[in-house]
A and B are shown apart, each in its own frame.
Chain A
Amino acid sequence: MTFGEPRRAHGRRPAGADDPGIGELLRRSLSHEAGAVEVVPDALGRIRERIDRRRAPRWLPAPGLRVAAVAAVAAAAVAAVVVGLDAGLPHPGTAGLSGTGRVTGGGSSAGRPVPTANLPVYYLGPASSGGRLYREYHRIPVSGASVTARIEAAVGAMLGLPASDPDYRSPWPAGARVARVSVDGPTASVELTGAATNDVDPDTARMALEQLVWTATAASVPAGRSAGLTGVRLRMDGRAVTQLWGVPVPGQPLHRRAAVDVLAPIWVIDPQQGATEGHDVTVNLAGIVPEATMRLRIRAASGAVVSDRSVHLNKGAPQVGMASVKITGLPTGSYIVEGYLVSERDGSQQWADDHRFTVG
């Protein structure tokens, strides 16, 4: 890139230019517009923080479990995950959509198996998706089979385990930890430490609250069941939370807002990001979409479109609809699966969710 070098205003002719006048006007205009753009002061810190969160196993749920769980970390870090749109969707390994089943088993330490559970963890999509929530399943070490252990592990992962899809993120500060979890009737009480301050915008703070509520309540759902706890009380450093990062917290306990307002409307469930598949691939999709209709596209690494089709889900908005599509005979190689909507107004693509996967 020649950023910073003198412009070659009178050098070679610009590609496609047949009018030096408009070229020079464009050059001046772009330079003026770009010159007004300044970067945030702590950008390098933010990049390093995101890198650290990807490589540090800070999400282990409890100090006592950490040593025993170390062997499971590697497995969990590479575990394929299976996602669904809400707690009502089947979990991997249960009836219905079972995903690709590529979740590895629990690890062990000195021959002793480490208990793990395949738990839902919600992440925020990119700002370009309005920061709406996506869900992944991760196999996570747990301290037991109780509801509190499952919530503790899932929220711990939400705070520190990077999403498998690089487009997803968790906005909680790097030092955030789960201090304790308890359950009282239909409500979980979650106490955090190291999460009192953070530098995010109000919308992200509000979505972080939803992320916590959706993760904790989803993790409370026993395998094979569709209902669990419905509320979450959030405490921080020994006190009930009344505001999170400058944003007032509504009355507690907190409850899930409507899915149509919180969740990303298009999800590619399978294949997962980074998955390896056979030559016949089952694509599982979910969405909250009008007319229960969305688009599915498979592209090869070269960009060539292998398949681009309309898919009808079993339910339309505001309900969560699902569909399963079989693609057969894909040659060995790398692919991108994309789910998206087409704007009725201008034909543009909207709400695209994509995963890279390999066949072979």
Chain B
Amino acid sequence: MAVPAQAQRWTADEAVTRLFASHYRQLVRLAALLVADRSLAEEVVQDAYVRLHQRWRTLREPDRALGYLRTSVINGARSALRRRAVARRYAATLVALPDMPSAETSTLDAYEQAVVIAALRRLPSRQREALVLRYYADLSEADIAEAMGISRGAVKSHAARGLAALRQILESRS
């Protein structure tokens, strides 16, 4: 869902309200996939909205506000993961890959998905970002490059390496 052209006429307060309604939940989910911590994900996204409000008047292209928010969220998540407290919590969520499905595990599919998420969290942050932006946010290569602040070639490289690493982790489980 794109930001409409009339965004240029929004005040900063209007921009925050409208962009909150249309994108907040999805941005929190994106951040949660990156930091593996729901409350921190909300904080990262709220930071992004506060910064957007601060910079609204000087934003060169208000119609690209969503891109600004997305980049802020990715940078915020990356920055947060650099810090020890989060790294600890994050490491705690890594634990080991799930054991084979037990009687309590509802379906094999759920087990398989849990293994994938656990494996994804073991990847270096740039590889994880590239894969989440591609396979969750469904962004084009160009949009991923813009969001991550890297070249399209680098996006390809991170995504390819991430998939290869993911495959290796998953194959080692089979």
Contact = CB atoms under 8 A, between A and B. Distances in A.
A14 B139 contact: no
Interface string B26-43: 101110110000111111
A79 to B, nearest CB: 17
Interface stretch (A186-194, A221-229, A234-242, A346-354): A346-354
Interface string A43-71: 11011101100100000000000000000
A36 B127 CA distance: 23
A1 B16 contact: no
A17 B159 contact: yes
B159 A14 contact: yes
B79 A37 contact: no
A318 interface: no
Interface string A16-38: 11110011011111111111011
Q: Determine the main DSSP class of A at the interface with B.
A: mixed
A23 B156 contact: no
Given A2-B138, A5-B138, A128 B17 contact: no
B98 interface: no
A128 B40 contact: yes
Given A47-B16, A48-B16, A129 B85 contact: yes
Contact of B1 (A1, A37, A40, A303): A1
A47 B20 contact: yes
Given A4-B26, A33-B117, A166 B163 contact: no
Interface in A341-360: 341, 343, 348-352, 354
B20 A1 contact: no
B55 to A, nearest CB: 11
| Size class of the B contact interface (CB-based, 8 Å) | 35 or more
Contacts of A17: 159-160, 163
B56 to A, nearest CB: 11
15 contacts: A14-B134, A16-B156, A18-B160, A26-B116, A27-B136, A29-B116, A37-B29, A43-B28, A126-B47, A126-B80, A127-B39, A166-B54, A303-B149, A350-B82, A351-B83
Given A1-B70, A15-B141, 13 more contacts: A1-B1, A1-B139, A30-B120, A30-B136, A32-B113, A37-B29, A37-B38, A37-B41, A40-B42, A43-B42, A44-B17, A348-B87, A352-B82
Nearest 6 CB-CB pairs, A to B?
A: A16-B159, A16-B160, A128-B80, A34-B29, A29-B116, A350-B84
Interface of B: 1, 13, 16-17, 20, 23-26, 28-30, 32-33, 38-43, 46-47, 49-51, 53-54, 66-67, 70, 79-87, 109-110, 112-114, 116-117, 120, 130-132, 134-139, 141, 143-144, 149, 155-163, 166-167, 170
